[in-house]
Amino acid sequence: MITSTRVQTPSRFRRLVLDRVDPAAQPLPTTIKKLYVWPTADCSIGCRHCNYASPKKSTDPTRRAIADNVDTIIEFALASGAANVTFCGGGEPLDEPDALLHVVDALAPTDIGFGLYTSGHSNRYDLDVDGLVADLARRWTAGGGGDFRIRLSVDFYHHERIGAAPVAAWLRAVDRYAPWMAADIRATQLVGDDSLTAVADDLKATIVPLGARSARLVMPSGRVVSVKSKPLVLDGRISLDRLHRDGLALPDAQRQRVATASVRGGRRVGRVLSNRLPVTTKRLDYEIRADGECRVLEVGIPDNVKYVFSDDWPTIRDANLADPIVHLVAAGGMTALGNRVQLAVGHGLVVDAPHYSSKALRSSAAADIVTATAVAELARTAPHRYSTEVRAEADAVLAGLAGTATRWFDALGEGLT
C-alpha cells in the first residue's frame, strides 16, 4: 500500500464532523466529470516557474506510482462514472510514454474521453512527435474512441527550456495525421512574454487576438488553434520577485489583486488569480496524483486523504462529500477558501503556506476554522446539510475566536449557497 507523510490526523472537531456529516444529504454530484491524472510527479523539463516545483528526476517510486499501475486508473475511471480522463502534471506526462499508450488503448473502446496536457517535450526520451501522434490516432480510432484533446503549454518559462519547436511539431502533426483531434494552447497572462509569437513564427501562422485572455492561431492549412491564457498560480518556484527579475510582470489588475490578498508580498499565495476551478455544486472534477492520492481538484485536505491504491470509489466519494471544506470550495471556489484562511492567518495559525491553497490546511487549527466557518455559513441557508450536533460544535470553535468570525463573515458578504 502507498502511504504518504502528508497524511494528518484530524482534530477531535474535524473527526466528529467527518464522521457525522451525511454525504448523501449534500447537493453535490456523485460522479466525476473530468478525472485529472498525474502519471508522474517528476518532470525532465524543469521550468523555473513550475508551481509544482517538480524535480527533474527522483528516486522515490511513489512519485511515479500511477505510471507503474495504469490499470488502477482505468478501473477507477469506470467505477466513478468519469466522462473524461486527462493525463497532466504534476510532472510531464511525456516522460511516461508507455503509460500514455496503455491508457489510450484501454479507454479507446469505452465512452470515456481522453486528454493530454503537456509541454510537448520530454528530455528523458527522444520523441518522434510525428510517429507518436500517428500512433495515438491509430490506437484511438481502432478502439472507436470519442473525444481526444491535446493541450500544449506555451509561456516564457516553457519557451526558455524547450523553445517553440516542440509545440509547433505537435500542431503540425495533429494537422497532418489526426485532424479530427482537438488541439489547443494554454498560455499565461504575463506582460513581456513573446513565446506565443515564437510558436506562430515557427508555424508560419497568424495570431488573431480575441481579447485579453484568448486568441486564435490560424495555420497555413487553415486549421484554427484556440489559445486561452490563464493567470499564474503563485506557488512552487514562481514569485513576483522572480517575474520582476526576468523582466516580466502581471497585468495591473492582477498585481493589485495579489497585493490586497496577500500579507506576504505575493511570494507564495497559491490560486488567488486563477479562474474558478471546475468544482461547483453542479460539477466535481477530481485529480489523482502520481502517488495515488485522490482528491477533488486542488482540494487536498491533509487530514482527509484517500488513495486509489487502498480506497475504492464509494469510500473516496463519501469522504469528500462529507467534508465541509469541499462544500465551501464548491459554493465559492478557492477564493472562498482563501478568504477564510485569512481568518486563521489573522490569529497567527497559518505560518508558511500559500493562503489560497489547501496547503494552508496543514495547520489543523486552520482546518478547524475553515470547517467551522463553512458549516456555520452554509447552514444559514440549508440547515439540513448538518446535524444539530455538528452545527453546535462548529459554533463552539467559532466562539473560541471571540466573535471575530461573525464580523469576518459579515464583512465578506459572499452569500454562499
Which residues are bridge partners to 116 per DSSP? 87, 150
Q: Which one, 95 or 377, has the nearer CB to ligand SF4?
A: 95
Q: Which one, 48 or 264, has the nearer CB to ligand SF4?
A: 48
- For the CB of residue 153, give the shortest distance to ligand SF4 in the complex, in Å: 6
Residues 58-117 that bind ligand SF4 (CB under 6 A): 89, 91-92
Q: Is residue 188 a contact residue for ligand SF4 (CB under 6 A)? A: no
90: cis peptide before it, omega within 30°? Answer: yes
Q: Is residue 231 a contact residue for ligand SF4 (CB under 6 A)? A: no
Q: Which stretch binds ligand SF4 (CB under 6 A): 44-52, 71-79, 190-198, 320-328?
A: 44-52
- For the CB of residue 101, give the shortest distance to ligand SF4 in the complex, in Å: 20
Q: Which one, 158 or 340, has the nearer CB to ligand SF4?
A: 158
Q: Is residue 309 a contact residue for ligand SF4 (CB under 6 A)? A: no
Q: Is residue 186 a contact residue for ligand SF4 (CB under 6 A)? A: no
- For the CB of residue 167, give the shortest distance to ligand SF4 in the complex, in Å: 12
Residue among 97, 35, 52 nearest 357 (CA): 52
Is-contact 129 162, C-beta < 8 A? no
Q: Is residue 225 a contact residue for ligand SF4 (CB under 6 A)? A: no
In the block, residue with C-alpha cell 444529504:
25
Determine which residue in the list 35, 37, 45, 279 makes contact with ligand SF4, applying CB under 6 A.
45
Q: Which stretch binds ligand SF4 (CB under 6 A): 48-56, 59-67, 183-191, 211-219?
A: 48-56
- For the CB of residue 368, give the shortest distance to ligand SF4 in the complex, in Å: 33
In the block, residue with C-alpha cell 525532465:
44
Determine which residue in the list 28, 35, 50, 200 makes contact with ligand SF4, applying CB under 6 A.
50
29 class by beta-carbon count within 10 Å (0-12 exposed, 13-18 middle, 19+ buried): middle
Which long-range contacts (C-beta less than 8 Å, at least 24 apart) are formed by 125-132? 125/94, 125/95, 125/97, 127/94, 127/97, 129/166, 129/169, 129/170, 129/173, 130/169, 130/173, 130/176, 130/177, 132/97, 132/173
Determine which residue in the list 21, 32, 37, 47 makes contact with ligand SF4, applying CB under 6 A.
47
- For the CB of residue 291, give the shortest distance to ligand SF4 in the complex, in Å: 16
- For the CB of residue 284, give the shortest distance to ligand SF4 in the complex, in Å: 24
Q: Which one, 47 or 181, has the nearer CB to ligand SF4?
A: 47
- For the CB of residue 160, give the shortest distance to ligand SF4 in the complex, in Å: 10
Q: Which one, 91 or 332, has the nearer CB to ligand SF4?
A: 91
Give the CA distances from residue 394 to residues 19, 80, 383, 412, in Å, rounded to whole numbers and listed in that order. Answer: 14, 31, 13, 19
Determine which residue in the list 16, 22, 25, 46 makes contact with ligand SF4, applying CB under 6 A.
46
Q: How far is CA 302 from the centre of its chain?
A: 16
- For the CB of residue 79, give the shortest distance to ligand SF4 in the complex, in Å: 28
Q: Is residue 166 a contact residue for ligand SF4 (CB under 6 A)? A: no
- For the CB of residue 233, give the shortest distance to ligand SF4 in the complex, in Å: 10
Q: Is residue 52 a contact residue for ligand SF4 (CB under 6 A)? A: yes
Q: Is residue 154 a contact residue for ligand SF4 (CB under 6 A)? A: no
Is-contact 217 206, C-beta < 8 A? yes
Q: Which stretch binds ligand SF4 (CB under 6 A): 47-55, 243-251, 319-327, 404-412?
A: 47-55
Residues 111-140 that bind ligand SF4 (CB under 6 A): 119
Give the CA distances from residue 77 to residues 16, 71, 81, 360, in Å, rounded to whole numbers and listed in that order. Answer: 30, 10, 6, 29
In the block, residue with C-alpha cell 505537435:
170
User: Rule CB under 6 A: which residues touch ligand SF4?
Assistant: 43, 45-47, 50, 52, 54, 89, 91-92, 119, 158
